[in-house]
Amino acid sequence: MLVSAKEMLQKAKAGHYAVGQFNINNLEWTKAILQTAQECNSPVILGVSEGAGKYMTGYKTIVGMVNGMIEELNITVPVALHLDHGSFEHCYKCIEAGFSSVMFDGSHYPIDENVAKTKQLVADCNAKGISLEAEVGSIGGEEDGVIGRGECADPNECKMIADLGIDFLAAGIGNIHGKYPENWEGLSFETLDAIQQLTGDMPLVLHGGTGIPADMIKKAISLGVAKINVNTECQLSFAAATRKYIEEGKDLQGKGFDPRKLLAPGAEAIKATVKEKMELFGSINKA
Ligand code: 13P
């Protein structure tokens, strides 16, 4: 059964580790991530962007697939199904479809509008036991064609949004989606520290988990980050393993062209990436 991400992230924050959000794009990814979470006895959050939702034909398909896998793969660790960077409208579509968690990304609205929309979602999500993530300060890089700069959030605005009753908060601290540029200045721990001091027990979320050095990840966790999002790194490992399989001509040997064989090395690569992240984030055996 899907669970809200509220409790798992409160436990993570109190226990000084982070739960990984791994974005899903298809059946193979979903299966690989769920199996790894079970093997590692780790809680896990499956992230779905609006683009990935559309690609997989819609949110109801995804809910059906994930619920089916939890039952048929005997997954007993806590699993949350979470909308990633949702618009106001899509948050409601996901709530209706059966997601257990949503992120409302109102960071591009003026703060008053972000507050008003977040407030309405807090009331509706609370009533249904669905966890809600909100965002302050845009996270840079490209995601589904939207490009941001990677600014640092204003800690006072973070407190304003946190006080509305959301369950976890994504705050820009210089992090960006996708690969980090050579001249990236690193995470702003000063900003993170100020946000944590004002928001207290609120679990904080670090987006753009791909390519952040391990020491920075550990420091971010020590300053209150309890959820870390990873997408690009799974895409890169999946693509590299698939390319290797084809370059070695394995797709032309025997029944190597069978999609179940063709996609298997990519799925194995995702498993390895997810396991490595769970080790780094400290969520192994925390189910
Ligand atoms: P990366 O693609 O950089 O891993 O970021 C994922 C993310 O933050 C999804 O919201």
Cα distance between residue 148 and residue 143, in whole Å: 9
Residue scoring higher pLDDT (19 or 184): 19
Residue 184 Cα, ligand 1 centroid: separation in angstroms?
16
Q: Note the pLDDT of residue 255.
A: 97
Residue 248 Cα, ligand 1 centroid: separation in angstroms?
30
Q: Is residue 256 part of a domain?
A: no
Checking if the pLDDT of 30 tops 90, the result is yes
Residue 46 Cα, ligand 1 centroid: separation in angstroms?
12
Q: Is residue 199 part of a domain?
A: yes
| Beta carbons within 10 angstroms of residue 123's beta carbon | 10
Residue 257 Cα, ligand 1 centroid: separation in angstroms?
31
Q: Is residue 255 part of a domain?
A: no
- Of all protein residues, the one whose alpha carbon is nearest to atom 1 of ligand 1 is 208
Checking if the pLDDT of 102 tops 60, the result is yes
User: If you average pLDDT over residues 31-47, what whole number do you get?
Assistant: 98
Checking if the pLDDT of 26 tops 70, the result is yes
Cα distance between residue 66 and residue 79, in whole Å: 9
Q: Is residue 244 part of a domain?
A: no
Is 84 known to be catalytic?
yes
Q: How far is the CA of 146 from the CAs of 93, 208, 281, in angstroms?
A: 21, 14, 27
Checking if the pLDDT of 142 tops 80, the result is no
Which tens digit of pLDDT belongs to each residue from 75-90?
999 999 999 999 999 9
Ligand 1 atom closest to Cα of residue 233: 4
Number of structural domains (the chain) is 1
CATH code of the domain covering residue 26 = 3.20.20.70
Q: Is the CB of 209 under 6 A from ligand 1?
A: yes
Q: Is the CB of 208 under 6 A from ligand 1?
A: yes
pLDDT-based confidence at residue 108 (cuts at 50, 70, 90) = confident
Environment class of 277 (CB within 10 Å of its CB; exposed 0-12, middle 13-18, buried 19+): buried
Residue 207 Cα, ligand 1 centroid: separation in angstroms?
5
pLDDT-based confidence at residue 107 (cuts at 50, 70, 90) = confident
pLDDT-based confidence at residue 121 (cuts at 50, 70, 90) = very high
Q: Is residue 29 part of a domain?
A: yes
Q: Note the pLDDT of residue 137.
A: 76
State the DSSP H helix or E strand holding residue 62, giving kind and residue range, or none if neither. helix 59-72
pLDDT-based confidence at residue 48 (cuts at 50, 70, 90) = very high
Q: Note the pLDDT of residue 47.
A: 98
Q: Note the pLDDT of residue 274.
A: 98
Q: What is the mean pLDDT of the chain?
A: 95
Could you tell me the residue range of the domain that residue 202 belongs to?
A: 6-232+270-281
CB 282 within 8 A of CB 219: no
Which tens digit of pLDDT belongs to each residue from 185-214?
889 999 999 999 999 999 999 999 999 999
User: If you average pLDDT over residues 115-128, what whole number do you get?
Assistant: 97
Q: Is the CB of 140 under 6 A from ligand 1?
A: no
Checking if the pLDDT of 96 tops 70, the result is yes
Q: Note the pLDDT of residue 64.
A: 98
Q: Note the pLDDT of residue 143.
A: 53
Ligand 1 atom closest to Cα of residue 211: 3
Q: Is the CB of 229 under 6 A from ligand 1?
A: yes
User: If you average pLDDT over residues 54-63, what whole number do you get?
Assistant: 98
Q: Is residue 250 part of a domain?
A: no
Q: Note the pLDDT of residue 147.
A: 46
Q: Is the CB of 178 under 6 A from ligand 1?
A: yes
Q: Is the CB of 135 under 6 A from ligand 1?
A: no
Q: Note the pLDDT of residue 145.
A: 53
Q: Is the CB of 232 under 6 A from ligand 1?
A: yes
Ligand 1 pocket, mutate which of 143, 216, 237, 277 (most atoms under 8 A from CB)? 143
Residue 258 Cα, ligand 1 centroid: separation in angstroms?
31
Which tens digit of pLDDT belongs to each residue from 213-265?
999 999 999 999 999 999 999 999 999 999 999 999 999 999 999 999 999 99
Q: Is residue 23 part of a domain?
A: yes
Q: How far is the CA of 33 from the CAs of 78, 133, 137, 180, 226, in angstroms?
A: 13, 21, 29, 24, 19
Q: Is residue 13 part of a domain?
A: yes
- Catalytic residue among 84, 105, 124, 154, which? 84
